[in-house]
Amino acid sequence: MGLVNATVRIVHISSTLMWMGLSFSDTLFLIPAQKAAREKGVEVTKELYYPKGMLRAYPLVGIVSAVTGVLLYATGSRKHFSPQGNVVLGIGAVAGAAAFLHGLPLHQAYDDHDFTAKIVAQNPTPDNVVMLDASLDQLQRSAWISHALMILASLGMASARYL
């Protein structure tokens, strides 16, 4: 059981780091670059998200992280922590679940943004460009909420062993 538990733990940590890395790179680099490049940025971003599978990577690593986290908890990982550590672990788990659930509707937001980008590409009026900027701002605000939850989850889960 030790080897299986260690493997599940490594997969959980790795998938969580991938999930956070995808999310932070999107929010800190890709969305601001797309916003700066206007309509041309839309085309580049669509190439990343759709044919290259970036949008499929988000739920994949999120699901792997969530499922392995539940498996670790269910197989007794909580027995290794003090009562205070379990409280902090629980807070981290709730924050991780909230980040996962918050990210589920984000795919619809990306689709809505893609629709808005197509309108702007066909008719780049100032009003439509403002609508594109508003769509990007909404994506970025939503992503920052997920970031805050992921950071809280990581801090809670990582610090549980030291309490």
Domain positions in the chain are: 2-162
Average pLDDT of the chain is 80
- Alpha-carbon span 141 to 42, nearest angstrom: 18
The DSSP secondary-structure symbol of 124 reads -
Q: In the structure encoding, which two tokens stand for residue 75, read together?
A: 């197989």
The region, left, alpha or beta by phi > 0 then psi within -120 to 50, assigned to residue 76 is: left
What average pLDDT score do residues 88-116 get? 78
Specify the residue for token string 């499922």: 67
Specify the residue for token string 């699901």: 63
Q: What's the alpha-carbon Rg for the chain, to the nearest Å? A: 19
- Whether the per-residue pLDDT at 43 is higher than 60: the answer is yes
- pLDDT category of residue 50 using cuts at 50, 70 and 90: low
What average pLDDT score do residues 109-119 get? 67
Q: How far does Cα 121 stand from its chain's mean position?
A: 28
- Whether the per-residue pLDDT at 151 is higher than 70: the answer is yes
Q: Which of 144, 111, 128 is nearest to 26 (CA)?
A: 144
pTM: 0.75
**Beta-carbon contacts of residue 27 (< 8 Å; ≥ 6 apart):** 140, 143, 144, 147
